C-alpha cells in the first residue's frame, strides 16, 4: 500500500487532481444524456391513420372550419380507447351516417374498419420528429420501441464485460480515450441512420463505449486522489446534472436526429483532450511498468508545484517503496482470480447484488415517470434536481458514518419507499409521487455508494475486473427491470413488490461487507489479507511503509 504515500508526496489533491476531476466529470453529464435520450427521441406522439378525406390534398374537400375537420375525422376514424381517434384503425369507407343527430357507436362495426395501410399522421406539436414517427414504431410495430432501449442496455452490459478486463490489461486512460472516440463516431452516425436496424446497431456501439467511460472514469478518479469520496461524489453529481441537461436539451431540440447529433459531437472534444490525462500511476507500477509510472508521478508533482519531490523520485526509490507489492503480483488479473479467492468471491457477489438492485429498480421505476405528471421535460429536470441534495447527503454519510452503513441504508430506504407505495391508494397521487421520487433519489445515492465502495473493496490488479462485474450486474438488472412490469396483468402490486424487495434484501446483504472508510486503497491480494487479519485482531496493526526522499 506504499503508493498512498507516494501519491501524498507528489500531491494527493492538488491542481492536477482538480483539473482532472473537471475533465472527467464533464463527459459524464453528456453521457447521461445518451442514457436518457430515448425518453424524448423515442417519445410516442399522438397519432392516427392517414385518410384521404383529411390528408390527401388533391382529394380533400374545402374545409371551412374546425367543425368540418372534426366531422370528417369522425366519419373517417373510429373512436379509440381514450375517446379520441383510434391510433391503429380507420374506416374502410367514410361513415357519413355517424353525422346524423341520432348516431351512436352501434352505427358501425369492427368489420367496417381496417389497419392503417397507408401510414399514420402524427401530432408534431410537442416533438417535430421522433424515431417512432420516423419509422412508424406504432400499432403492430410498437414492440420495436422498447426493443431499441433493450438493445442499448445490452450494449452497456457487453461493454462492461469487455472494457473492465481490457482496462486492467491495457490501461485506464487508453481505454477511456478509445471509448470517447467510439461514442462520438457511433453517436454521430446514429443521428443519420437511414433505417431502424442501423440506428439500433450504432446505439449499441454507443452503449458499449458508455460502459467503458463510466468504469474508467471512476477508477482514474479513485486511483489519482486521496479524496476518494469527494471525487466519486462529484462523479455521481455529474449524472444528476446530466439529467437536468437532458431535459433542457430535449426542450430546445424537438427533432430526434438533431438531439442525437448535439449530444454526440462533444465527445470529439473529449477524445482530443483525453490525451492530456495521466494514466493511472498506481496501475503502471503494479503491472511492472516502472518507467512510465515514474514519468506520470513526476509530471503530476510538477503540475502540483512539488517539483522538488518529483526530481527525487527514481526507479530505485519506486522499487524500494513498492517491493512487496511488485513481488506479490505473479499472475495476471482475471475474473477467475477474483472468483477463486474466498474473501474476494463473497465481496464480489454481494457487490454485484447491490449493483443489480440499483439497475433493476431504478430503470424499472423510470418507466413510470409519466405517472408523476404529463410534462416530460419538467419531470426529467426535477429528477436531476432532487438527486443533488441526496448525493450531497450521501457524501456526508460516507465520510462520517462509513461505507457499509451508508450503502445498506440507501438500499433499504429505497426498498421501503417502493414497498410503501403498495399500501397508498391511487387517489393519493401526491403522496405516491413523493414516495416514488424519494425511492429514486435513494437509488441514486445507492449508485454513489456502490461506486466508491466497490473500488475500495478490491485490489488494484483486480479493481477494473470487479467494477466491470458490478456494471454487468447493474445492466442485467436494467434489462430485466422493465420486463417485470408485465407482472402487472396479475396484480398491480406485483411489480412494486419486486422493485422494493430486491433493494431491501440487497441492503441487508451489504451489512456482510467489511468497512473500508479511512483505509488506503489495496494494491495486491496480500494487502486484502493483511487488512482482514488486522480487522479480526489476529496480528499486530500494520504500519504502512514510509518512503523517504
Phi–psi pair at 78, nearest 5 degrees:
-70, 160
The parent domain of residue 280 ranges over 1-27+141-328
Strand, helix or coil at 228?
helix
In a domain, 271, yes or no: yes
DSSP character string of 266-289: HHHHHHHHGGGSPP-HHHHHHTT-
- Is 385 inside any structural domain? yes
The confidence score (pLDDT) of residue 541 equals 44
Cβ(122)–Cβ(135) below 8 Å: no
Has residue 128 been placed in a domain?
no
- Asked which of 328, 348, 380 is the last residue of a domain, the reply is 328
Residues 145 and 213 in one domain: yes
Phi-psi region of 119 (alpha: psi -120 to 50; beta: other; left: phi over 0): left
Same domain? 104 vs 206: no
Q: Are residues 342 and 481 in the same domain?
A: yes
Give the model's pLDDT for residue 544.
41
The verdict on 94 and 173 lying in the same domain is no
What is the count of structural domains for the chain?
3
Could you tell me the CATH number of the domain that includes residue 243? 1.20.1250.20
Least confident of 313-327, 348-362, 374-388, 404-418: 313-327
Same-domain check for residues 150 and 271: yes
Q: Does a structural domain hold residue 36?
A: no
**Do residues 341 and 299 both lie within one domain?**
no
Contact, 3 vs 285, CB < 8 A? yes
User: Cα(520)–Cα(103) distance, rounded to whole angstroms?
Assistant: 79
The predicted structure's pLDDT at residue 156: 85
Q: 388 and 270: one domain?
A: no
The pLDDT-based confidence of 195 (bands split at 50, 70, 90) is very high
226 or 436: whose pLDDT is higher?
436
Task: For residue 102, count other CB atoms closer than 10 A to its CB.
Answer: 6
Domain-ending residue, one of 328, 356, 389: 328
- Least confident stretch, 372-376, 445-449, 461-465, 498-502: 372-376
> For residue 546, is pLDDT > 60?
no
Same domain, 351 and 499: yes
pLDDT in tens, 124-142: 888 899 898 899 888 888 7
Query: Tens of pLDDT along 245-267?
Result: 988 998 888 899 999 999 999 99
pLDDT number for residue 205: 94
Residues 496 and 357 in one domain: yes
Assess if residue 501 is contained within a domain.
Answer: yes
Predicted local distance difference test score (pLDDT) of residue 107: 54
Residue 39 forms part of a structural domain: no
Please report how many Cα atoms fall inside a 13 Å half-sphere around the Cα of residue 223, on the Cβ side. 34
Q: Is residue 243 part of a domain?
A: yes
Instruction: Look at residue 322 and tell me if it is in a domain.
Output: yes
Whether 118 and 148 map to the same domain: the answer is no
d(CA 476, CA 348): 16
**Which pLDDT does position 368 carry in this prediction?**
61
* Residues 351, 401 share a domain: yes
Please answer whether residues 108 and 98 qualify as being in contact, where contact means their C-beta atoms are separated by less than 8 angstroms: yes
Last residue of a domain, one of 294, 311, 328: 328
Radius of gyration of the chain (CA): 27
Q: Of 145-154, 256-265, 326-335, which range is least confident?
A: 326-335
In terms of DSSP bridges, do strands 120-122 and 89-91 run parallel, antiparallel, or are they unpaired?
unpaired
In this structure, are 267 and 281 located in the same domain? yes
Amino acid at each position: 500500500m506504499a503508493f498512498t504515500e507516494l501519491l501524498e508526496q507528489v500531491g494527493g489533491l492538488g491542481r492536477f487532481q482538480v483539473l482532472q476531476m473537471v475533465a472527467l466529470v464533464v463527459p459524464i453529464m453528456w453521457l447521461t444524456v445518451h442514457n436518457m435520450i430515448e425518453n424524448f427521441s423515442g417519445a410516442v406522439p399522438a397519432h392516427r391513420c392517414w385518410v384521404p378525406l383529411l390528408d390527401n390534398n388533391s382529394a380533400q374537400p374545402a374545409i371551412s372550419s374546425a367543425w368540418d375537420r372534426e366531422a370528417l375525422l369522425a366519419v373517417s376514424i373510429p373512436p379509440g380507447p381514450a375517446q379520441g381517434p383510434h391510433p391503429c384503425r380507420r374506416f374502410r369507407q367514410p361513415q357519413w351516417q355517424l353525422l346524423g343527430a341520432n348516431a351512436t357507436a352501434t352505427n358501425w362495426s369492427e368489420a367496417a374498419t381496417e389497419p392503417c395501410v397507408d401510414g399514420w399522421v402524427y401530432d408534431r406539436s410537442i416533438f417535430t420528429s421522433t424515431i417512432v414517427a420516423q419509422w412508424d414504431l406504432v400499432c403492430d410495430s410498437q414492440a420495436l420501441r422498447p426493443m431499441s432501449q433493450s438493445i442499448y442496455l445490452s450494449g452497456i452490459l457487453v461493454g462492461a464485460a469487455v472494457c473492465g478486463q481490457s482496462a486492467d490489461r491495457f490501461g485506464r486512460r487508453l481505454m477511456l480515450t478509445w471509448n470517447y472516440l467510439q461514442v462520438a463516431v457511433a453517436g454521430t452516425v446514429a443521428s443519420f441512420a437511414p433505417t431502424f436496424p442501423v440506428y439500433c446497431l450504432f446505439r449499441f456501439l454507443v452503449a458499449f463505449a458508455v460502459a467503458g467511460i463510466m468504469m474508467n472514469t471512476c477508477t482514474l478518479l479513485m486511483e489519482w486522489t486521496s479524496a476518494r469520496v469527494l471525487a466519486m461524489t462529484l462523479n455521481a453529481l455529474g449524472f444528476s446534472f446530466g439529467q437536468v441537461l437532458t431535459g433542457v436539451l430535449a426542450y430546445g431540440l424537438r427533432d430526434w436526429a438533431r438531439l442525437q447529433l448535439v449530444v454526440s459531437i462533444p465527445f470529439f472534444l473529449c477524445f482530443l483532450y483525453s490525451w492530456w490525462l495521466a494514466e493511472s500511476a498506481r496501475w503502471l507500477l503494479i503491472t511492472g511498468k516502472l518507467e512510465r509510472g515514474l514519468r506520470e508521478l513526476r509530471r503530476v508533482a510538477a503540475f502540483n508545484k512539488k517539483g522538488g519531490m518529483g526530481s527525487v523520485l527514481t526507479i530505485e526509490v519506486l522499487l524500494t517503496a513498492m517491493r512487496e507489492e511488485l513481488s506479490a503480483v505473479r499472475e495476471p488479473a482475471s475474473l477467475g482470480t477474483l472468483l477463486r479467492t474466498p474473501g474476494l468471491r463473497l465481496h464480489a457477489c454481494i457487490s454485484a447484488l447491490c449493483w443489480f438492485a440499483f439497475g433493476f429498480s431504478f430503470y424499472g421505476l423510470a418507466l413510470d415517470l409519466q405517472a408523476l405528471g404529463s410534462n416530460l421535460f419538467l419531470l426529467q429536470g426535477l429528477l436531476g434536481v432532487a438527486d443533488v441534495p441526496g448525493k450531497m447527503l450521501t457524501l456526508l454519510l460516507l465520510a462520517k458514518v462509513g461505507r457499509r452503513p451508508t450503502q445498506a441504508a440507501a438500499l433499504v430506504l429505497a426498498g421501503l419507499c417502493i414497498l410503501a407505495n403498495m399500501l397508498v391508494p391511487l387517489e393519493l397521487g401526491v403522496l405516491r409521487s413523493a414516495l416514488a421520487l424519494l425511492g429514486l433519489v435513494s437509488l441514486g445515492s445507492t449508485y454513489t455508494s456502490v461506486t466508491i465502495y466497490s473500488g475500495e473493496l478490491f485490489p488494484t490488479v483486480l479493481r477494473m475486473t470487479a467494477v466491470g462485474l458490478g456494471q454487468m450486474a447493474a445492466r442485467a438488472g436494467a434489462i430485466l427491470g422493465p420486463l417485470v412490469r408485465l407482472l402487472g396483468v396479475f396484480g398491480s402490486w406485483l411489480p412494486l413488490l419486486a422493485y422494493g424487495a430486491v433493494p431491501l434484501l440487497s441492503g441487508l446483504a451489504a451489512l456482510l461487507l467489511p468497512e473500508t472508510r479511512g483505509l488506503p486503497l489495496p494494491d495486491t491480494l496480500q494487502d486484502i489479507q493483511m487488512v482482514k487479519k488486522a480487522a479480526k485482531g489476529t496480528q499486530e496493526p500494520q504500519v504502512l511503509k514510509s518512503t523517504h526522499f
